[in-house]
């Protein structure tokens, strides 16, 4: 069934008022959006497991109406109900770390909060940043890692990075495009640059740790 193939777990602040009415409002919104949901109120959180779409943000926006003010975090899509715990943990970690990104959109993906989650002590986020950003750059060659590092240290200046690397600015520009191709994060975007910087730091720490 679709619920088993495409699922997200959302950890969100629950709205004020009767919990049963809140849950029923979520179910009505889900029926209207043609989604299947399991939902409940846990303490001060309204938690939803939703299926029927592979777009977590679209699902979160469709169900956001009954929520109280505050952050709304959508976990990643996972293949089946057995993997829902992994998505739930990512969403809960994102909710915990969301206060560190005051301009975060609402709703926000847990993966967009990877740097804040890593700083808050989420080991899964740290591992994800290393495995999805640092390792691929490392495998693509030392030039990409060096160029990205120098570019970020030079306040995102192509000319400044080129001078430090003794190359033409166009070479820096090309390598940064390759960084985007390899990682999916653009060094020229402020938010992405922050994520890349944290990934570089964590990758270097992991490389220097014989236990990692």
CATH at 192:
1.10.10.2840
89 alpha-carbon distance from chain centroid? 12
147/14 Cα distance (integer angstroms): 45
Number of domains in the chain: 2
**DSSP character for 133?**
I
Give yes or no: residues 7 and 106 share one domain. yes
Tens of each residue's pLDDT in the chain, 212 residues: 232 233 344 545 545 556 788 888 899 999 999 999 888 887 778 888 898 889 999 999 999 888 778 899 999 999 888 888 899 899 999 999 999 999 999 999 999 999 999 999 999 999 999 999 999 999 999 999 999 999 999 988 999 999 999 999 999 999 999 999 999 999 999 999 999 999 999 999 998 855 54
Q: What is the pLDDT of residue 40?
A: 83
- The whole-number pLDDT of residue 18 equals 65
Closest to 205 (Cα-Cα) out of 114, 119, 140, 98? 119
φ, ψ of residue 36 in degrees (nearest 5):
-105, 135
Rounded Cα distance, 207 and 212, in Å: 7
The predicted structure's pLDDT at residue 75: 94
Segments forming the whole domain that contains residue 165: 123-207
Is 28 in the same domain as 94? yes
């Amino acid at each position: 069934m679709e619920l088993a193939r495409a699922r997200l777990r959302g950890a969100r602040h629950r709205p004020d008022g009767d919990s049963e009415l809140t849950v029923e409002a979520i179910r009505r919104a889900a029926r209207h959006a043609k989604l299947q949901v399991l939902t409940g109120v846990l303490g001060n959180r309204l938690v939803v497991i939703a299926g029927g779409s592979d777009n977590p943000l679209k699902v979160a926006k469709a169900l956001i109406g009954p929520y109280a003010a505050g952050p709304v975090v959508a976990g990643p899509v996972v293949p089946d109900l057995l993997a829902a715990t992994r998505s739930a943990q990512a969403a809960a970690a994102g909710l915990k770390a969301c206060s560190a990104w005051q301009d975060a959109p609402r709703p926000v993906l847990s993966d967009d909060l990877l740097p804040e989650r890593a700083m808050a002590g989420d080991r899964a986020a740290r591992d994800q940043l290393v495995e999805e950003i640092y390792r691929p750059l490392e495998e693509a060659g030392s030039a990409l890692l060096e160029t990205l590092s120098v570019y970020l240290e030079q306040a995102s200046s192509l000319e400044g990075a080129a001078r430090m690397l003794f190359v033409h600015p166009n070479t820096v520009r090309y390598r940064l495009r390759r960084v985007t191709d390899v990682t999916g994060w653009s060094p020229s975007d402020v938010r992405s640059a922050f994520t890349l910087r944290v990934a570089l730091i964590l990758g270097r720490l992991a490389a220097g740790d014989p236990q990692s």
